[in-house]
């Protein structure tokens, strides 16, 4: 029986999860692939650190040692940062290896180039683990896309932000307290910028956009906002309206153009994200035949992410990623997305509003819910003392008579 | 360019959805498959009825006419009933056609036999549409199973029952009123037995069991219960505990044996099914590496079901269903499922209970919540005036001090 030789770059949470899963699921892998899967080498940074790695695995801090191995079939990359992993993966492809990555920042920047290079070299690229951990989002979108035309994607893609928002609401904590809690639980880094400022979700959104729409918007045109402006006061006021803050990435087509936003929005209890809590991730895909489908599950963590990588490993070995058809590039205009009027949750309005902005509800002091087209709201949103958040979906909870009785304050 | 010739058996909601989708998505299909997909024939029952079918399609009520077509590649079956569709599909396979079915009752009974026959004849069987309409449940489970070992499956698999339970709770309707509403909306048949007595969900459960565990329990051993015993009073009492009734199918391994139940249970707001409302379906898969994943979406309807069938069509044309590995037959014991004590929502207890049955809460007159092993509860559940429903998951809402203060009534 021949053997599949794997190198793992990085031995943090994800790298170690992959290593341990290849061992614990050796029998399953052998059954599915008809070959034994063996970890031949692991790239680490600190040679001194004690690790629980079998003696026959080459453990090195020099990537060139790995490239020189007599047999190497698959390179799994689970490092932080973007330039050196990119270089390692380029070299791996050129050596004829399939590559699998969990690194969203690197892949958002260099994914298209790596995929092209892989195609030229007849190898495959697996990246299921870059988005939503163990939830098979990429696989599902590819599957749907065989015949469906995707209109819109929404996702809770950053577990850390979702955990913080959940803690703030449930335990009435401040942002700082909830962040500390996330750090103590190992859900947030010492420097949490990447998560709480929305960069992590942004990279994932760009990767999803490429999969679902065959393209991505100009990065500069994407509104990216983290959750640092969300206060306990805002969360409580929203709750009295039956609304919850969620950090949501959304991609859709407006007037023939691909638009993406990554920012805090409000959802009511009819929205599938209302009850996605803690470190969970979720993705909602709207497509023309099937309608809306939601996937929910663990977005990060040692084993969920390892699971996504091992699934990719099986796919690349069966050489199936390569022959999944590219998206047709066809993007469809969903008319319902172009409805001008939207609902907004607004804090800090002190003046009389013009009649284009309908006040739907102002029963909570200091806050109101407006119905308005975005273009009519921009001057208000730009005021320093005003905060505006879009509300996704219908807001059934607000009775239509309220609208008549308080309209135009 | 060569052509793929399809016959559609049945022209009800599903059959017509498939016909229309093949037309509306002709370009996508051609791009993905490199061939034109053409509906060559449609089997109908009533020749008199007016239908919107193109003149070049053979429309017949005699299946033999279809078998005699000079070219026939795929037979899509969307008929009600089990014996004639079974016969038609056997003949189709023997003629060398791939088959795709949306018929859960037929497939639960004859699926294994048809799959074996298809294997012998070198063709594929698609049945994604038999379970949860447009949600790619079967595909996702197969995908997870490449390396994960599935422990447990839970599903809301019958949209009609879920719609009725939702209406009863939201609009404070009786079962009869909500059923009538479902019938008026086209969600329930004139004879609703199949849906409300849990047969439909049962068939789907057996199909899922075969996919996820490579086997199914003895049908006679499966506890199957519909929703006809659920009253408005029960729903309201449950609501005061923060619990909702859901009609849930569950399959797992207990003491090395495959167990399935299909019945009404209670879930609290932490359970992913708490907010699955109306005609939505949902499936929760727990497996060893990735943990729990939930898929939610439209469980029925013309286009969601058509979408599942067209996806199967693409797969069988690409000959990919056939080489998806069979489940390894490995079933794993999830220790957490064997915890003896469970929570129960009980109506109609009038006597003092033995101490094995801990009363956790009895703040709503006529109802109580018990903590007990199932074996200790059976005598009580068997009483005619008593109704017992299991509560899935933890019940966080009940404070532990309540337990101390009221325990042992």
Q: Which residues of A touch B29 (CB under 8 A)?
A: 147
Would you call A134 and B291 a contact, using CB atoms and an 8 Å cutoff? Answer: yes
What is the least distance, in Å, from the CA of B368 to any CA of chain A? 27
Would you call A314 and B148 a contact, using CB atoms and an 8 Å cutoff? Answer: no
Q: Which residues of B touch A301 (CB under 8 A)?
A: 291
Q: Which residue has the higher pLDDT, B62 or A355?
A: B62
Residue B408 reports pLDDT greater than 80: no
Q: Looking at the structure, do residues A122 and A218 belong to the same domain, yes or no?
A: no
Q: Looking at the structure, do residues A235 and A350 belong to the same domain, yes or no?
A: no
Would you call A290 and B304 a contact, using CB atoms and an 8 Å cutoff? Answer: yes
Beta-bridge mates of residue B154: B250, B284
Domain presence at residue B27: yes
The per-residue pLDDT for A332 is 42
Q: Looking at the structure, do residues B67 and B216 belong to the same domain, yes or no?
A: no
* CA distance linking residue B251 with residue B224, whole number of Å: 12
Would you call B147 and A289 a contact, using CB atoms and an 8 Å cutoff? Answer: no
Would you call B146 and A311 a contact, using CB atoms and an 8 Å cutoff? Answer: yes
Would you call A32 and B275 a contact, using CB atoms and an 8 Å cutoff? Answer: no
Q: Looking at the structure, do residues B116 and B226 belong to the same domain, yes or no?
A: no
Beta-bridge mates of residue B372: B342
The domain boundary residue, chosen from A58, A93, A126: A126
Active-site hit among A35, A68, A104, A204? A204
Q: Which value does ipTM take for this structure?
A: 0.80
CA angle B19, B22, B25 (to 5 degrees): 140
Domain presence at residue A312: no
Q: Looking at the structure, do residues B176 and B233 belong to the same domain, yes or no?
A: yes
Query: Tens digit of pLDDT for each residue in A304-339?
Result: 899 999 989 998 888 655 444 444 443 444 433 334
Query: Tens digit of pLDDT for each residue in A383-406?
Result: 888 988 888 866 654 444 444 433
Would you call A25 and B147 a contact, using CB atoms and an 8 Å cutoff? Answer: yes
> Is A204 known to be catalytic?
yes
Q: Which residues of B touch A306 (CB under 8 A)?
A: 289
Domain presence at residue B331: no
Lowest model confidence (mean pLDDT) among A26-30, A323-327, B10-14:
A323-327
Write the residue in A290, A310, A325 that is nearest to B147 by C-beta. Answer: A310
Cβ burial A86-115 (10 Å sphere, 16+ → b, else e): bebbbebbeeebbbbbbbbbbbbbbbeebb
Q: Which residues of A touch B148 (CB under 8 A)?
A: 307
Write the residue in A149, A270, A293 that is nearest to B134 by C-beta. Answer: A293
Query: Tens digit of pLDDT for each residue in B38-77?
Result: 999 999 998 888 888 998 999 999 999 999 999 999 999 9
Q: What is the CATH number of the domain that holds B65?
A: 3.40.50.720
A144: closest chain B residue by CA: B311
Q: Identify the CA nearest to A338 among candidates A67, A151, A114.
A: A151
The domain boundary residue, chosen from B77, B98, B126: B126
Residue A262 reports pLDDT greater than 60: yes
Write the residue in A143, A275, A292 that is nearest to B274 by C-beta. Answer: A275
Q: Which residues of A touch B296 (CB under 8 A)?
A: 272, 293-296
- Contacts (Cβ under 8 Å, ≥6 apart) of A251: A152, A153, A205, A208, A209, A212, A213, A217, A258, A259, A260
Per residue, what are the HEC states of chain A?
CCEEEEEEECCCHHHHHHHHHHHHCHHHHHHHHCCEEEEEEEECCCCCCCCCCCCCCEEECCHHHHHCCCCCCEEEECCCCCHHHHHHHHHHHHCCCEEEECCHHHHHHHHHHHHHHHHHCCCCEECHHHCCCCCCHHHHHHHHHCCCCEEEEEEECCHHHHHHHHHHHHCCCCHHHHHHHHHHCCCCCCCCHHHHCCHHHHHHHHHHHHHHHCCCCCHHHCEECCCCCCCHHHHHHHHHCCCEEEEEEEEEEECCEEEEEEEEEEECCCCCCCCCCCCEEEEEEEECCCEEEEEEEECCCHHHHHHHHHHHHHHHHCCCCCCCCCCCCCCCCCHHHHCCEEEEEEECCCCCCCCCCEEEECCCCCEEEEEEEHHHHHHHHCCCCCEEEEEECCCCCCCHHHHHHHCCC
Write the residue in B32, B290, B296 that is nearest to A298 by C-beta. Answer: B290
Would you call B269 and A275 a contact, using CB atoms and an 8 Å cutoff? Answer: yes
* CA distance linking residue A131 with residue A103, whole number of Å: 9
What is the least distance, in Å, from the CA of B294 to any CA of chain A? 5
Q: Looking at the structure, do residues B149 and B118 belong to the same domain, yes or no?
A: no
Mind telling me the catalytic residues of B? Answer: 204
The overall average pLDDT reported for chain B is: 87
Domain presence at residue A375: yes
Q: Looking at the structure, do residues B34 and B100 belong to the same domain, yes or no?
A: yes
Q: What DSSP character marks residue B325?
A: P
Domain presence at residue A368: yes
Would you call A291 and B134 a contact, using CB atoms and an 8 Å cutoff? Answer: yes
The per-residue pLDDT for B325 is 40
Query: Tens digit of pLDDT for each residue in B181-238?
Result: 999 988 888 899 999 999 999 999 999 999 999 999 999 999 999 999 999 999 999 9
The domain boundary residue, chosen from A269, A298, A327: A298
Query: Tens digit of pLDDT for each residue in A185-197?
Result: 888 888 999 999 9
Domain presence at residue B197: yes
Q: Which residues of A touch B291 (CB under 8 A)?
A: 134, 297-298, 301, 303-304
Q: Are the C-beta atoms of A249 and A150 separated by less than 8 Å?
A: no
What is the least distance, in Å, from the CA of A330 to any CA of chain B? 9
What is the least distance, in Å, from the CA of A149 to any CA of chain B? 9
Q: Are the C-beta atoms of B126 and B101 separated by less than 8 Å?
A: yes
Residue A181 reports pLDDT greater than 60: yes
Domain presence at residue A247: yes
Q: Looking at the structure, do residues A144 and A293 belong to the same domain, yes or no?
A: yes
Write the residue in A32, A146, A303 that is nearest to B314 by C-beta. Answer: A146
Q: Which residues of A touch B138 (CB under 8 A)?
A: none
Instruction: Domain of residue B394: give its range.
Output: 339-406
The per-residue pLDDT for B18 is 96
Would you call B295 and A293 a contact, using CB atoms and an 8 Å cutoff? Answer: yes
Q: Looking at the structure, do residues A29 and A90 belong to the same domain, yes or no?
A: yes
Q: Which residues of B touch A294 (CB under 8 A)?
A: 294-297
A325: closest chain B residue by CA: B32
Q: Which residues of B touch A397 (CB under 8 A)?
A: none
Tokens in use for A121? 């070299």
Number of CB pairs, chain A paired with chain B, less than 8 A apart: 148
Q: Looking at the structure, do residues B195 and B241 belong to the same domain, yes or no?
A: yes
Instruction: Name the pLDDT band for B407 (thresholds 50, 70, 90).
Output: very low
Would you call A311 and B147 a contact, using CB atoms and an 8 Å cutoff? Answer: yes
What is the least distance, in Å, from the CA of B122 to any CA of chain A? 20
Instruction: Name the pLDDT band for B390 (thresholds 50, 70, 90).
Output: confident
pTM: 0.83
Domain count, chain B: 3
Would you call B28 and A147 a contact, using CB atoms and an 8 Å cutoff? Answer: yes
What is the least distance, in Å, from the CA of A307 to any CA of chain B? 6
Query: Tens digit of pLDDT for each residue in A37-76?
Result: 999 999 999 888 888 899 999 999 999 999 999 999 999 9
Q: Looking at the structure, do residues A118 and A192 belong to the same domain, yes or no?
A: no
Q: Looking at the structure, do residues A277 and A237 belong to the same domain, yes or no?
A: yes
Instruction: Name the pLDDT band for B333 (thresholds 50, 70, 90).
Output: very low
Q: What is the CATH number of the domain that holds A180?
A: 3.30.360.10
Domain presence at residue B322: no
């Amino acid at each position: 029986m021949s053997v599949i030789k794997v190198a793992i770059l990085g031995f943090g949470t994800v790298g170690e999860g992959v290593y341990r899963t290849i061992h614990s699921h050796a029998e399953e892998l052998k059954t599915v692939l008809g070959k034994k899967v063996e970890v031949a080498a692991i790239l680490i940074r600190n040679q001194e650190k004690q690790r629980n790695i079998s003696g026959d695995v080459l453990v090195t801090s020099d990537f060139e040692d790995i490239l020189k191995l007599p047999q190497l079939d698959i390179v799994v990359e689970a490092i932080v940062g973007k330039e050196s992993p990119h270089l390692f993966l380029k070299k791996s492809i050129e050596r004829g290896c399939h590559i699998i990555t969990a690194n969203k920042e690197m892949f958002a920047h260099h994914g298209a180039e790596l995929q092209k290079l892989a195609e030229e070299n007849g190898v495959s690229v697996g990246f299921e683990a870059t988005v939503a951990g163990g939830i098979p989002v990429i696989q599902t979108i590819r599957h749907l896309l065989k015949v469906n035309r995707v209109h819109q994607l929404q996702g809770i893609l950053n577990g850390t932000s979702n955990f913080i928002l959940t803690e703030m609401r449930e335990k009435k904590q401040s942002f700082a307290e909830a962040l500390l809690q996330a750090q103590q639980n190992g859900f947030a880094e010492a420097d949490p910028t990447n998560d709480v400022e929305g960069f992590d979700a942004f990279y994932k959104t760009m990767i999803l956009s490429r999969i679902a729409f065959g393209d991505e918007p100009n990065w500069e045109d994407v509104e990216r906002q983290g959750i640092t402006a969300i206060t306990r006061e805002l969360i409580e006021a929203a709750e009295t309206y039956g609304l919850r803050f969620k950090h949501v990435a959304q991609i859709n087509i407006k007037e023939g153009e691909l638009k993406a936003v990554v920012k805090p929005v409000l959802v009511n209890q009819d929205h599938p994200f209302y009850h996605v809590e803690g470190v969970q991730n979720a993705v909602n895909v709207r497509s023309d035949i099937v309608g809306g489908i939601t996937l929910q599950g663990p977005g990060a963590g040692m084993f969920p992410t390892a699971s996504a990588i091992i699934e990719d490993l099986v796919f690349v070995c069966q050489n199936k990623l390569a022959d999944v058809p590219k998206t047709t590039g066809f993007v469809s205009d969903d008319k319902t997305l172009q409805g001008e009027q939207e609902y907004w949750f607004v804090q800090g309005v002190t003046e009389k509003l013009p009649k284009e902005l309908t006040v739907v509800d102002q029963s909570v002091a200091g806050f109101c819910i407006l119905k308005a087209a975005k273009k009519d709201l921009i001057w208000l949103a730009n005021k320093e003392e005003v905060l505006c958040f879009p509300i996704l979906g219908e807001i059934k909870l607000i009775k239509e008579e309220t609208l008549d009785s308080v309209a135009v304050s």
